[in-house]
Amino acid sequence: MRCGLPFVRRTGLYLKPTTVMVQRFGDLADKNVVDLEPLGMKRLLSDGEIDVDLDIDPGYVIVRSGKNIWGVSLYLLPGRLLSRFPKGMRQAIV
Amino acid sequence: MIPNPLADYMEFIPDWEAYISHLRRPLPAYLRINTLKASSDVVFSTLNSEGVRLEATAVKDFFRLGAAGQTKATIGYHLGYIYPQALSSGLPVLALAPRAGDMVLDLCAAPGGKSTHMAQLMGDSGIIIANDRKFGRLTALMANVKRLGITNTVITCYKGEHFPISGSFDKVLVDAPCSGDGKFRLDQNDELLHLKRGRTFLPAIQKALIQRAFDLLRPGGIMVYSTCTLNPQENEEVVSHLLKKRAGELLPWIPPIDWEPGLTSFKGRNYHESCVLCRRFYPHKIDSVGFFVAKILRPT
């Protein structure tokens, strides 16, 4: 028997923080958090990718819009943010 | 002509005409807000921005939807801020009153409305064992536990009447499988919509479940037996059976919404006299699903 939430998942060589963990505990993070305006958030959901200019290392980031923590995305150089939100969430909202 | 089994209930349902008239209307939609993931202010502003209007109810954290809508297509749903749930579904949990640090068992947990409500009241501390006998229903249970960001819940798949680990729980909830007539609605011809058909003899299952749940309690522990049927054979008769077999004690409880006391007789059958301490909730009185709740102590 196991208790708790899955924290990370292995994706290839990397560990990806899970959406459920980030939504619950993401407000405790003090780095690698990307704030998006509602329009940018909507575009990330609908297009699956947006251009951003961030002063952070590439890798998984927590995406926040307003006071809501939405989940995880992947930041790649040069300046691409790729949605890693669950498909169900994207389909339902878009 | 009102169909059976509802016609049998005429002898105890107060204000019968209002009850029948209520059955001809669709049930209003309610939801519970999940304060484990965000403050209620953040939840409200997120839902408001999507045009979801909420009306307060007498049950804490439960709201009535201003206009029927697809709550599962909202951002608030996917962020785990809400759980669509009937108003009366919150009552068994309020009767059980789980507290931070408790060891709690939900014997028939799927899809998880009551388990996740308990986790919320416990501040996501202590331990909840959320059990369901049907493996296929665990997917929805697990998805809801994750979506609401709950970390104190273990999911198991046992037949409730054979659940192991006796005598160890502070609290046990048995939201038993039932005929579900508290949810029944009538169509234009006064025919029942969505009548469950099956050959299962529910009272036998319910009696086995309530007895096992009682044995799983530690001395001094409390259990709640609830159903969404108004049928006394699935309610007071099941509770009376337990009180005959075990030294349980029904406890009084004051619900936050309109209620009626339990019955002590129906169709010539007499039930345990303390069944008046059970609580009945009628759809037309509460504008939600009809419910039955009994709170039982295992004495030390």
More confident site: A84 or B167? A84
Q: Is the pLDDT of residue A4 over 80?
A: yes
> Looking at residue B258, what is its pLDDT?
98
Q: Using a CB–CB cutoff of 8 Å, tell me whether A31 touches chain B.
A: no
What is the rounded distance in angstroms from the CA atom of residue B299 to the CA atom of residue B21?
43
B5: which residues sit within 8 A by CB, 6+ positions away?
Answer: B179, B181, B231
> Looking at residue B188, what is its pLDDT?
77
> Looking at residue B195, what is its pLDDT?
62
Which residue stretches of A18-86 are H helix?
19-25, 38-47
pLDDT band, residue A2 (cuts 50/70/90)? low
Q: For chain A, give the mean pLDDT.
A: 92
What separation in angstroms does the CA of B265 have from each of B2, B69, B240, B246, B285? 22, 41, 11, 21, 22
Where do the domains of chain A lie? 8-93
Q: What is the DSSP letter of A58?
A: S
Whole-model pTM: value is: 0.94
Note the pLDDT tens digit of each residue in A5-15.
999 999 988 99
> Looking at residue B166, what is its pLDDT?
72
**CATH T-level topology, domain A8-93:** 2.30.130
> Looking at residue A3, what is its pLDDT?
78
Residue type, A64: R
> Looking at residue B259, what is its pLDDT?
98
**Helix, strand, coil share (%) of chain A residues, nearest 5:** 30, 35, 35
* Residue whose structure tokens are 């004690």: B249
Buried b (16+ CB within 10 A) or exposed e, B254-268: ebebebeebbbebee
B228 is catalytic: yes
> Looking at residue A89, what is its pLDDT?
82
What is the rounded distance in angstroms from the CA atom of residue B10 to the CA atom of residue B229?
14
- Beta carbons of A5 and B127 less than 8 Å apart: no
What is the rounded distance in angstroms from the CA atom of residue B222 to the CA atom of residue B237?
19
Percent share of chain A, pLDDT over 90: 81
Nearest to A5 among B78, B151, B154 (CB): B151
What separation in angstroms does the CA of B229 have from each of A8, B3, B65? 42, 15, 24
Q: Using a CB–CB cutoff of 8 Å, tell me whether A59 touches chain B.
A: no
What is the rounded distance in angstroms from the CA atom of residue B155 to the CA atom of residue A1?
7
B117: which residues sit within 8 A by CB, 6+ positions away?
Answer: B32, B61, B83, B85, B89, B90, B93
Q: With 0-12 CB in 10 A as exposed, 13-18 as middle and 19+ as buried, what is A33?
A: middle
Question: What is the secondary structure of B219-284 as a DSSP string?
Answer: EEEEEEEEES---GGGTHHHHHHHHHHS--EE-----SS--EEPPSEETTEE--GGGGGSEEE-HH
Q: Using a CB–CB cutoff of 8 Å, tell me whether A76 touches chain B.
A: no
What is the rounded distance in angstroms from the CA atom of residue A17 to the CA atom of residue B56?
36
Note the pLDDT tens digit of each residue in B285-296.
999 999 999 999
Q: Is the pLDDT of residue A74 over 60?
A: yes
Nearest to A23 among B73, B127, B149 (CB): B149
Range scoring the smallest mean pLDDT among A34-43, A55-64, A77-86, B189-198: B189-198
Mean pLDDT by 10 residues, chain B (300 residues): 77 95 93 94 91 93 82 88 97 98 97 98 97 94 96 96 88 96 85 68 95 97 97 97 97 98 96 98 97 97
Q: Using a CB–CB cutoff of 8 Å, tell me whether B40 touches chain A.
A: no
What is the rounded distance in angstroms from the CA atom of residue A50 to the CA atom of residue A53?
10
> Looking at residue A75, what is its pLDDT?
97
Note the pLDDT tens digit of each residue in B60-105.
999 999 875 678 778 899 999 999 999 999 999 999 999 999 999 9
Q: Which residues of chain B make contact with A69, given a CB cutoff of 8 A?
A: 79
- Beta carbons of A23 and B75 less than 8 Å apart: no
What is the rounded distance in angstroms from the CA atom of residue B213 to the CA atom of residue B173?
8
The DSSP H or E segment spanning A81 is strand A80-83
Percent share of chain A, pLDDT over 70: 98
